[in-house]
């Protein structure tokens, strides 16, 4: 270890200038080397001499300026009474302090840590980190992570020879977000991270796939490493295949169910909610007695996921809606307590029951009403699954109006299982929420259905880390995603963002000292990203590796295809039949 050379070795020609101004997070450098100034760009690294010869404070360049001032010439002319002032440049570089580098730190050499142990002193020498110094410095980043913690994302744009390594533990355990405009390489970044995780023995990641674009990752013909299940579509109700997943109505808690069926503006809404709650609880209690689950019957609630018959519920509600009441004097009948007050509720419920698009919820197979069905499905979703612990759940056939309830119900159910699991036997789980803006909107813009989903995901964002449950949020419009959820993310992989509002979201989530880095977001190339957060020692611009299996999200070559490929009339006719049948299997 003693033979390891210092990673930063500066010569006189590397001297940029000296410190002239310092605040709590930024430093201003008076540049004396105008040749170096022309090579400095935003994002370059600068080393500032620390309190000892072995210590450097590291800053990221935020601003480079040159201004002219009038001053006396360096050589005064002899014998002339009038001396003309000449324009003298003042070159300044402003940088954000990000960490401390030590060539020797106890028994260790070439260590970098986030944060500055001390502030730069005025007149301290400042050096540009480039060439060999840059290569050696970049190579030290992530080198201290043990092999079983390293998550390789790509290479540094500043030095393509150095691997960009993040801490896999910190990336997943503290929530993360992958953000980028359409066509920036966001889906490829997701596929890359899933591919890296698949190399582990027991990864446990559930991907909420909104458009079916990650199906290739589960394709055996492409040596896929994941398991794929689909939320049942209308074509799956008669003979569901093994890869189909149903989410029966009885998994929904009271509020989730009522958000879909009750019209809160209806004057009878309280009555409808009351009778629904009463009957659901009694039907669940009846199931427990039939199954001889007497201990559970003592403590269950109306929200407990216990099977019951939706047909029996409808019969009880219809009886309430039509039953008369006896007059107090026993002479004839009068209007019943609930008579006519549940008509609209029953009508809305019947609409959902008869709509085949909702078959995954209201028309599950008979075995989905058995008491043991839930445990078997959750073992399927949370188990090791024969080494295919990454599960891709395809939501592409779920109606958009009920998508928030479905995603929220599944997320809540998975989290509840993790919450109630014995701590010693609990293994970590991550939910990867693709296209999060579709079902995790800003709360002020959410309707009653969307708020139910938000409640489940926001609870996970706030409390999940304690129970080994994390979120990986993926979106092309971060400004449309719940601020509560994004604010809980401690790691960001931000690809190109061209929208100023979206850039502002990232800027607000970053520490003030690093907010200037967001200026490069619209300039990033496809497949480039700004990596920020606890998982990396240094905020860095990186070039992501390409995944071995590409997702079905490649941008189409409009101009080339218009020049070579005619529209298929058969494909159009088949699409018409698929539209009519609401299933991709038709035609």
DSSP sequence for 115-184: S-SSPPPTT-EEEE--HHHHHHHHHHTTTTS-GGGEEEEEEESS-TTSEEEEEHHHHHHT-EEEE--TTS
Max Cα-Cα span within the chain: 130
Confidence of residue 513 (pLDDT cuts 50, 70, 90): low
Q: What's the pLDDT score for residue 29? A: 94
Tokens of 407: 């995603």
Sheet holding 176-179, edge to edge: 163-167, 150-156, 540-544, 528-533, 491-494, 176-179, 469-475, 429-433, 205-209, 390-394, 227-231, 244-245
Q: Is the pLDDT of residue 489 over 60?
A: yes
pLDDT tens for residues 230-239? 998 888 888 8
> CB neighbours of 35 closer than 8 A, spacing ≥ 6?
none
Angstrom distance (rounded) from CA 285 to CA 302: 9
Q: Which whole number is the average pLDDT over 33-40?
A: 85
Q: What is the DSSP string of 193-256?
A: HHHHHHTSSS--EEEEESSSTTGGGG-GGGT--SEEEEE--GGGSSS--TTEE---GGGS-HHH
If 0-12 CB within 10 Å is exposed, 13-18 middle and 19+ buried, where does residue 105 land?
middle
3-state helix, strand, coil in the chain (%, to 5): 40, 25, 40
Q: Is the pLDDT of residue 1 over 50?
A: no
Angstrom distance (rounded) from CA 568 to CA 221: 26
pLDDT tens for residues 154-179? 998 888 888 889 999 999 988 999 99
Q: Is the pLDDT of residue 391 over 90?
A: yes
Q: What's the pLDDT score for residue 577? A: 85
Say which DSSP state 350 is in. Answer: H
Beta bridge partners of 530: 494, 541
- 271-282 in b/e burial notation, b at 16+ Cβ within 10 A? bbbebbeebbbe
Q: What's the pLDDT score for residue 587? A: 47
Angstrom distance (rounded) from CA 461 to CA 486: 9
580 by DSSP, 3-state: which?
Answer: helix
Mean pLDDT of the chain: 87
Quick check: 134 and 127 in contact, CB under 8 A?
A: no
270-284, 336-350, 365-379: the lowest-pLDDT one: 336-350
- CATH class for domain 163-246+366-555? alpha beta
pLDDT tens for residues 315-324? 999 998 888 7
Q: What's the pLDDT score for residue 472? A: 96
Comparing CA positions, the residue from 418, 276, 447 lying closest to residue 345 is: 276
Confidence of residue 392 (pLDDT cuts 50, 70, 90): very high
pLDDT tens for residues 76-100? 666 666 666 666 678 899 998 888 9
4-13, 168-177, 212-221: the lowest-pLDDT one: 4-13
Domain boundaries, the chain: 12-75+82-140, 163-246+366-555, 255-344, 558-587
Comparing CA positions, the residue from 183, 145, 151 lying closest to residue 164 is: 151
H-helix or E-strand containing 494?
A: strand 491-494
How are beta strands 429-433 and 469-475 bridged, if at all?
A: parallel
Q: Is the pLDDT of residue 380 over 80?
A: yes
How are beta strands 15-22 and 125-128 bridged, if at all?
A: antiparallel
pLDDT tens for residues 423-445? 888 899 999 999 999 888 888 87
Q: How far is CA 461 from the centre of its chain?
A: 10
The pTM (predicted TM-score) of the whole model is: 0.85
- 13-52 in b/e burial notation, b at 16+ Cβ within 10 A? ebbbbbbeebeebbbbbbbebeebbeebeebbbbbbbbee
């Amino acid at each position: 270890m003693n033979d390891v050379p210092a990673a930063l070795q500066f010569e006189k020609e590397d001297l940029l200038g000296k410190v002239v101004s310092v605040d709590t997070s930024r430093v201003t450098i008076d540049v004396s080397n105008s040749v170096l100034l022309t090579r400095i760009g935003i994002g370059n690294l600068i080393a500032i001499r620390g309190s000892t010869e072995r210590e450097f404070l590291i800053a990221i360049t935020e601003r480079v300026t040159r201004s002219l001032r009038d001053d006396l010439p360096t050589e005064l002319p002899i014998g002339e009474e009038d001396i003309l002032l000449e324009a003298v440049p003042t070159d300044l570089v402003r940088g954000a302090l990000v960490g401390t580098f030590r060539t020797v730190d106890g028994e260790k050499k070439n260590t970098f840590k986030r944060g500055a142990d001390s502030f730069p002193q005025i007149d301290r020498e400042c050096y540009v980190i480039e060439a060999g110094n840059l290569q050696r410095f970049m190579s030290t980043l992530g080198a201290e992570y043990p092999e079983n913690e390293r998550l390789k994302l790509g290479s540094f744009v500043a030095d393509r020879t150095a691997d960009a390594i993040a801490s896999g533990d910190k990336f997943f355990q503290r929530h993360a977000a992958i953000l980028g405009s359409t066509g920036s390489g966001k889906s490829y970044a997701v596929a890359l991270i899933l591919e890296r995780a698949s190399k582990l023995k027991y990864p446990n990641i559930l991907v909420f796939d909104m458009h079916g674009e990650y199906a290739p990752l589960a394709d055996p013909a492409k040596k896929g490493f994941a398991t794929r299940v689909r939320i049942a579509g209308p074509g799956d109700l008669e003979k569901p295949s093994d890869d189909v997943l149903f989410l029966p109505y009885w998994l929904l808690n009271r509020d989730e169910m009522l958000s879909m069926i009750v019209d809160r503006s209806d004057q009878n809404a309280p009555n409808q909610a009351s009778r629904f709650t009463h009957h659901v609880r009694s039907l669940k209690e009846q199931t427990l007695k039939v199954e001889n689950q007497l201990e559970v019957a003592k403590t269950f609630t109306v929200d407990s996921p216990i099977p019951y018959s939706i047909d029996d519920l409808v019969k009880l509600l219809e009886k309430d809606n039509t039953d008369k009441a006896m007059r107090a004097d026993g002479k004839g009948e009068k209007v019943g307590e609930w008579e006519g007050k549940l008509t609209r509720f029953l009508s809305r419920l019947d609409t959902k029951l008869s709509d085949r698009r909702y078959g995954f919820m209201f028309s599950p197979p008979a075995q989905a009403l058995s008491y043991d069905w839930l445990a078997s499905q959750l073992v399927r979703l949370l188990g090791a699954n024969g080494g295919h612990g990454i599960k891709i759940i395809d939501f592409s056939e779920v109606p958009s109006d009920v998508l928030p309830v479905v995603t929220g119900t599944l997320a809540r159910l998975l989290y509840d299982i993790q919450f109630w699991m014995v701590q010693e036997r609990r293994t970590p789980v991550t939910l990867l929420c693709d296209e999060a803006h579709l079902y995790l909107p800003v709360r002020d813009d959410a309707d009653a259905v969307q708020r139910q989903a938000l409640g489940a995901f926001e609870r996970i964002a706030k409390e999940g880390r304690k129970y080994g449950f994390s979120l990986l949020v993926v979106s092309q419009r971060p400004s449309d995603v719940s601020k509560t959820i994004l604010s809980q993310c401690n790691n960001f992989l931000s690809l190109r963002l061209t929208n100023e509002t979206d850039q502002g979201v990232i800027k607000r989530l970053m520490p003030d000292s690093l907010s200037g880095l967001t200026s490069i977001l619209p300039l990033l190339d496809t497949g480039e990203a700004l990596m920020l957060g606890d998982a990396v020692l240094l905020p860095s611009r990186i070039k992501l590796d390409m995944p071995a299996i590409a997702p079905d999200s490649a941008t189409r070559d409009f101009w080339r295809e218009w020049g070579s490929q005619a529209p298929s009339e058969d494909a159009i006719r088949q699409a018409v039949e698929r539209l009519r049948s609401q299933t991709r299997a038709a035609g």
